[in-house]
Each structure stands twice: as C-alpha cells, then as structure tokens.
Amino acid sequence: MRPSTGQDSCRQPARVIVANQSPKLLALYREDGINLDQLMALTLSADHAVQERTWFDAQPWDKTPAALRRRLTVGEVEAAGSALVRFVGIEVYEAAGGVVRRDLFDDEQSRFLSDPALLERLATEKLEAVAATVREEGWKWVEARLSVDSQVLRQFAPCAHANRKPTAAEQQEFDALERRAVELEQQAQALDDAPEWSPDEAEMIDLEEQDIVARRKAIHEALKTWTPEQKAHAGVIVTIGRDGDVEVIRGLVRDEDRRAIAGAVRQNGAMDHRDTQGACDEDEGAPSPSAAPERRAPGCSEALTKRLAAHRTMALQSMLAQNTAVALASVVHVFVLRTFGADYPREASALQVTPQLSAFALEAMADDLRASRAWQAVQQAKEAWHTRLPEDQGEWLWWLIGLPQGELIDLLALCGALTVNALPGAGAAGSANAIAAALGLDMADWWEPTAEAYLNHVPKAQIIAALKEAGPGLAGGDVEAMKKDALVSAAASRLAGTRWLPEPLRRSPG
C-alpha cells in the first residue's frame, strides 16, 4: 500500500470518490503510477472503461490533470474563462435542467457544462430581452448575436454620432472617478516607496483602476446620440463581451442603407452634413465600438503605458519624416480609405481631408516629451520648412505648386508624420505597428530609462529587475536596501547607454 502522508490525510474526501474508481487505476495509484490529482481528474466520468481508456490511450507527456479533463469533456463547455457561462450563470443553467460535471473540489477550474445547446438557448433568450429594450430607441434593426468578431463588424460602416452634455449625476460620477483615480495613483506610489508591500495590495489597486477605466468608458458610451434620421437607416448589435457582460454596439450601417443615409444628410444641408460627416463612412482610423482593450504590459500603470506610447509615437514621427517612401505610402493610404471607403459624394468641401496633429495629445501623456531626441528632431525639420514658406498664407498653394516634386514629397512626409497617433485607444495599433516595422523603429535609439521617463513611475522591485536584465553586475551594491530616491538615481546612471527597454517599447503594442 502507498504510505499515508500529510497531504493524503488532508484529502479525505478524495477517498470517497476514489472508491468508485476503476480497479486498474486504483492499483496503479498504489504503485505510484498515477498521482491523486490525476485520479481526481478522471472522476469526471463514472464509467470505468472511459476512465481507463482516457488514461492508457494518452501519451506520457499528455497526462496532466488538465489534459485528462479536456479528453473527458470533449464537446462540453468549461466554465472557467467562458464569457457565455458568466453571462448566463451556472445556477440559471442548472435550473433549466442543464447538467454540470464537477470534480472533487467543485471549483471554478473544474466545472463543465454538458449541454452547449441549452446554454446557447438561454444566452440567446437573455440577449433577446435586452434587444427588445433597445428596439424601443427607434433603430431600423436590432440583432442579438452570441458573438461578434472584427470580420463581422467589417460588414458594417459606423454611423457618426454627436455627444450630448452629461447630466449633473453623470458629471458628478465622472468627477468622483477622477478623484478616486488620483487617490489610487497616490496609494500605488506609497506602496512603491514602502520597504515591504503585498502583491495582493498592488493587485487590488490595479483591479480598481481597471474598474474605473471601464466605468469611464460606460459613461462616454452613454453620451453618444444619433438623430432619428440616422436611426432610420442604421442598426444595433446586442452581444456578449469578453467578460460576460452585455455589449450593445449602436450605429451600424449596412451597405444597402449607405445611399439612403447620405441622401438624408444632403437634405439637412451642408452645415448639417459637416456635423454628421462620415455618417456611413468606413473610417479605419476610428476605433471600433467593440474593439478589444489594448493589452497593458505587466507592471505598467495606465498612465505609464500612455507615457511610453507617446514617446514611441514621437519617434515614429521623426523617422517617418525622414522616410519619404513610407510617408508617401501612409498618406496615400488615407486618401484610398477616403476615396474607396464610401460611395456617396461629399458636398461640404471639394477636398475633405482633415489632418489631426497629435502633438497636444502626446504632450498630455508625457510631460517630458519636449526634452526627447525625437521631439527636437521633428521641431528642427518643422523650423527648416517654416522659414522657406512665404509670409502670406494666401501664396502658399502657388508656392507649393512650383516646388520641385522631390521637395514636395519631403514636405508631405513631414506633414503626414505629424499626424501619427499610436496612443492606446487611438484605434490604429495595426497601422502604427506596420509603419514601425517598415521604418525599422528601435526605441533604444530614441529613448532612455531616465527618472522622469520611467524610473519614477515603477516600483523598486521593477527597477531592480531592469538592472538585472540590462547587464551583469548592474544590480550590485546592495540595491535592494536603497531608498526609492537613491535607487532611482543609481539606476538612471547605470542604465544610461545600455539600450535597455521596458517591455512595451520592445514589442508592437496592441
């Protein structure tokens, strides 16, 4: 017999289930040929033949408890990680007659729903109830779908919206969220400065920050409005988000409705048209209403992620301004989107191209941006061209027409570069990453982990990890015992010239 251990004595409930196990597997357990966790995984089936087949047919490297559960639950839905299960609820599913298979401890990692059809029916009924409420808003169509991906959304064009002013209650809540976000940032800084801190405390702060971001997004979504004329030609998809919550995607226009909505815009006149510009235009520069949140690097706060992204954007601008081939292709890409993305005429202007310079948005994210190499390079290029332009703006067009084509392309590269926005939430991660790859962007050429740029914004443990990663011996000198200020100063000096980068600047974000 296998000797009793303290671990076994803590698992007395397992022996009740083991009593119903296959005799062959029990004999193997006594000979240490299978461990208790594996045996427990096999209890998902009460059929001895199925238990034995699952075990003996598996490859030696494919006999982990998780692998055994997967083999036993083919065609079933695992509760852990399923948005559909979270949306419906296991209790509702069981109340409707659904069967849930559980292993010994019946935790979130070991629940399997054996009737996917029932689960989907319950989810559809729940979504339809939400869709019924949304239909009262006056949309042309409202659909309830269990899942929606980017390929599905590409079948629709977004219908432009206006933002109403927040109510007093909404503004009050938004202000409260802002204040709480500041408090959490202060708590996180205090945690960084503390000689000892618990990962649980840091996780609680991070989770609350994520909740604040989600609530802010919900408030902004609630401020969106569409005119009755727009709703008469547009629709809504009600679906399930990745966290198991209801997601309502409003303002979607089908191909057959584009001309109709364009006609409605024309009837409202040129001024109204400008207010509803792009009502049925497929603008790939705008974030999708259901786009997944961009991934935040581990150990980086939301503010630091945006700070690093601002520096990366500035470096992209500087390099793009020097690469006319990529810049020209990028600008032409904008024209192609505008030219072929819609099939109704634009009346407000003969040429509707509206560059959005990103400098103010970038500075708002990184207050040290003006001191960066990229910023200085861009400003030098701007100044060089500014001194060449005629004083009278009315002469600029004729001056540009007379400019040699090579110089015109150089100027186009600079102007196009100044519109680049690779910040999280801009909805253009794919485009920004493609441009970065084409340019061969290496942020080590443009950025260093100074106190202002990075070290002041991360905890001591992360600074020490950076030193260890940057090179042998850089984490010496008893850095663990240093106060935060001293560690930041020492790390800035040691990391200078090492070309070390934090994870968000090594990879392609998104």
The predicted model gives 366-373 an average pLDDT of 86
Instruction: Kindly report the pTM of this predicted structure.
Output: 0.47
Give residue 300's pLDDT: 72
Give residue 136's pLDDT: 94
**pLDDT tens profile 47-100:** 788 888 888 888 888 888 888 877 877 778 888 778 899 999 989 999 999 888
Give residue 277's pLDDT: 40
First to last CA, the chain: 55
The predicted model gives 15-23 an average pLDDT of 65
**pLDDT tens profile 176-227:** 988 888 888 888 878 777 777 777 788 888 888 888 888 888 888 888 888 8
The sign of the CA dihedral 274, 279, 280, 283 is positive
Residue 392 CB contacts under 8 Å (≥ 6 apart), including other chains: none
Residue 317's closest CA among 387, 403, 382?
A: 382
Residue 276 sits at the vertex; the CA angle it makes with 273 and 279, to the nearest 5 degrees, is 110
Give residue 270's pLDDT: 40
Give residue 260's pLDDT: 64
Residue 417's Cβ-count burial label (10 Å; 0-12, 13-18, 19+) is buried
Model confidence at 13, in pLDDT bands (50, 70, 90)?
A: very low
User: Quick one: angle between helices 48-57 and 23-30, nearest 10?
Assistant: 50
CA 435 to chain centre: 19
Distance CA 449, CA 94 (A): 54
Give residue 264's pLDDT: 55
Distance CA 300, CA 244 (A): 25
Residue 60 CB contacts under 8 Å (≥ 6 apart), including other chains: none
Residue 279's Cβ-count burial label (10 Å; 0-12, 13-18, 19+) is buried
**pLDDT tens profile 420-472:** 888 877 777 788 888 888 888 898 898 899 988 888 888 888 898 899 888 88
Model confidence at 329, in pLDDT bands (50, 70, 90)?
A: low
Q: What percent helix, strand, coil does the chain show, rounded to 5?
A: 55, 5, 35
Of all residues in the chain, the percent with pLDDT exceeding 70 is 79
- 61 DSSP 8-state letter: G
